[in-house]
Amino acid sequence: MIIISTIHEMQAYVQVARKSGASIGLVPTMGYLHTGHGALMERAKNDNQRVIVSIFVNPLQFGPNEDLDRYPRDLPGDERFCSERGVDVVFAPTVTEMYGADGALTRIHVATLGEHLCGAASPGHFDGVATVVAKLFHIIQPERAYFGQKDFQQLSIVRRMVGDLSIPVDIVAVDTVREADGLAKSSRNAYLTPEQRKLAPRLREALLRLQAAWSRGERDVPAMLAEERAQLEAVPEFRVDYLTCVDSDRLQPVNTPAPGQSVVFALAVFLGKTRLIDNLIVQ
Amino acid sequence: MIIISTIHEMQAYVQVARKSGASIGLVPTMGYLHTGHGALMERAKNDNQRVIVSIFVNPLQFGPNEDLDRYPRDLPGDERFCSERGVDVVFAPTVTEMYGADGALTRIHVATLGEHLCGAASPGHFDGVATVVAKLFHIIQPERAYFGQKDFQQLSIVRRMVGDLSIPVDIVAVDTVREADGLAKSSRNAYLTPEQRKLAPRLREALLRLQAAWSRGERDVPAMLAEERAQLEAVPEFRVDYLTCVDSDRLQPVNTPAPGQSVVFALAVFLGKTRLIDNLIVQ
């Protein structure tokens, strides 16, 4: 496995790989890798002749009061993790390498999709995501790029950007990987106290109850959401940021679903200072 | 010469060309081609094995009160023009083909560079330019793309975007082509009345006097600009939008130039409803 830290070296590697006709799969990450990322790598390995994992804690997607400095990092551990999974290249540039000493002036904005849910509390967050993802696509020119279904809003925004700008890459969504008790894997789980960790599976349980109600034919979405929100808010350690039902295309709130409409139940809940997200698509 | 109107066909052509190892030069235009565009094509022809000219009047870069519908179009004439110059492909998509039936949600914004000069009166204009240029780069994946020095702010913004986002393309600037009397070639010259056409070379003459003053060692930029502005404003048919001196990198106004600094004298002047621009770089 090769570790590359400069854009120039990464481009040189890609040029050789492309000339040899090898297909490239990219797994963009912010590091502190867990088996959720592992599932993305496995899928990329299966689909492509070369797998590149980028590890970059992207300052553009953190707000001024957010946890950029506090975000967990473990590059040596991440490199071992990638190596054990047969990754060909880890691309781990510095912030200066990515954005220059004076910072980048360019931002990519996807209207509508990023303005609520996880974007409501963090204006500019998804602009930062879209911008860094486009830059990685330009540097690495992958045939395919892999994103977890857990961050479904991010996935929708990246898909829309790729379509709108005709970026030549296939976006592959991979199912959320979970702990045995159903908690979605996340680097942020490392922040949880043992007590919070014990309560965390209730987020998924709320989504499963919504799915079950939906399967029984219930369609009074506001009432369904209100009931589950009340249940979550009854737990003193929880602070619900959002619990909502949106259409899976434009991510707009759905109150009275059309027959056959596919929707996403999604939530973000604070446990202390740690904000966890999860979602469930229902057809 | 091939005429292509869909993104899919254009991508298929590019894939074959790239597999054969042919280098591609792109000349992005809004059509109504003149010898200024011809110079870009000639340069592209010289540097690349395939030359692609895109012809697309991009609605994203027109404001609600601007001349989108009035913008001159002549696709048959443009095709002849390209064919005579040995262009390999004309890519002329419709608006729906480029942005879909429901329009594109994605925009690229380059901060600072687009907010004054030609951007001051047209908020969003350069976002529209950056967005369409990036999309064309993704579809056509050229080794090199050719832009006229006449639109130096557009050139600076495209260069900055390409650098910030690591888009794998070389941006080539080509000198402004002029009429015998010095007027910069522009599709908008077609709007001028005979009387306006006779007065139009005075724009270039103002820039040349500024250059001459600079060469003589004059550095009181505000006084130099004020004098030329007064001269232009003495012509009743002229309405000066801006006449300014900016640094050639960040396009910020320069009042007291540093020794050895390279600056751009630039202007935009309305002749009736027609807005003409020109510029001159001095070292």
**Angstrom distances, CA of residue A255 to CA of A63, A245, A265, B15:** 31, 8, 12, 45
Domain-located, residue A13: yes
Specify the pTM. 0.95
Of A106, A135, A166, the CB nearest to B7: A166
Query: From CA A240, how far away is CA A243, in angstroms rounded?
Result: 7
**Cα distance from A138 to chain B (closest Cα, Å)?**
5
Which two three-digit tokens encode residue A252? 């707009």
Cα-Cα end-to-end distance for chain A = 41
**How would residue A283 be classed by pLDDT, with cut points 50, 70 and 90?**
confident
Domain-located, residue B181: no
Query: From CA B49, how far away is CA A79, in angstroms rounded?
Result: 42
Strands B263-271 and B274-282, sheet pairing? antiparallel
Domain CATH number, residue A35: 3.40.50.620
Domain-located, residue B81: yes
Q: Are residues A155 and A192 in the same domain?
A: no
Q: Give the chain A residue whose CA is nearest to the CA of B107.
A: A109
Q: Which of A174, A199, A227 is the last residue of a domain?
A: A174
- E runs forming strands in chain A: 2-4, 24-29, 50-55, 89-91, 106-110, 144-148, 170-174, 238-247, 263-271, 274-282
Rounded to the nearest 5 percent, the helix, strand and coil shares of chain B are 40, 25, 35
Q: Are residues B212 and B107 in the same domain?
A: no
Q: Are residues B150 and B39 in the same domain?
A: yes
Q: Are residues A125 and A232 in the same domain?
A: no
**How would residue B115 be classed by pLDDT, with cut points 50, 70 and 90?**
confident
> pLDDT tens across A217-266, in order?
999 999 999 999 999 999 999 999 999 999 988 899 999 999 888 899 99
Domain CATH number, residue B237: 3.30.1300.10
**DSSP helix/strand/coil, A60:** helix
Q: Are residues B167 and B58 in the same domain?
A: yes
The one-letter amino acid at A173: A
pLDDT of residue B122: 84
Q: Are residues B23 and B139 in the same domain?
A: yes
Average pLDDT value for chain B: 95
* Neighbour tally for A176: CB within 10 Å: 19
Query: From CA B267, how far away is CA B243, in angstroms rounded?
Result: 4
Instruction: Give the domain extent around A213.
Output: 187-282
> pLDDT tens across A11-46, in order?
999 999 999 999 999 999 999 999 999 999 999 999
Average pLDDT of span B19-31: 96
Instruction: Enumerate the active-site residues of B.
Output: 37
ipTM: 0.94
pLDDT of residue A183: 97
Which two three-digit tokens encode residue A106? 């360019």
Count of domains forming chain B: 2
Q: Are residues A137 and A254 in the same domain?
A: no
**How would residue B118 be classed by pLDDT, with cut points 50, 70 and 90?**
confident
Instruction: Using a pLDDT cut of 90, give the percent of chain A over it.
Output: 87
Of A7, A138, A160, the CB nearest to B106: A160
Backbone dihedral angles phi then psi of residue A183, each to the nearest 5 degrees: -65, 130
- E runs forming strands in B101-142: 106-110
CB contacts, 8 Å: B168 with chain A: 11, 138, 141
The residue whose two tokens read 């998804």 is A126
> pLDDT tens across A157-208, in order?
999 999 999 999 999 999 999 999 999 999 899 999 999 999 999 999 999 9
CA-closest candidate to residue A207, choices A172, A174, A231: A231
Cα-Cα end-to-end distance for chain B = 41
CB contacts, 8 Å: B109 with chain A: 106-109
Q: Which of B114, B140, B174 is the last residue of a domain?
A: B174
Inter-chain CB proximity A111 and B107 less than 8 Å: yes
Domain-located, residue A274: yes
Q: Are residues B162 and B278 in the same domain?
A: no
pLDDT at A67 over 80: no
Inter-chain CB proximity B164 and A104 less than 8 Å: yes
pLDDT of residue A249: 83
Residue to test with chain B: of A11, A105, A137, most B Cβ within 10 A: A105
> pLDDT tens across A41-66, in order?
999 999 999 999 999 999 999 988 77
Q: Are residues A124 and A209 in the same domain?
A: no
Q: Are residues A21 and A135 in the same domain?
A: yes
pLDDT of residue B221: 96
Domain-located, residue A263: yes
**Cα distance from B210 to chain A (closest Cα, Å)?**
31
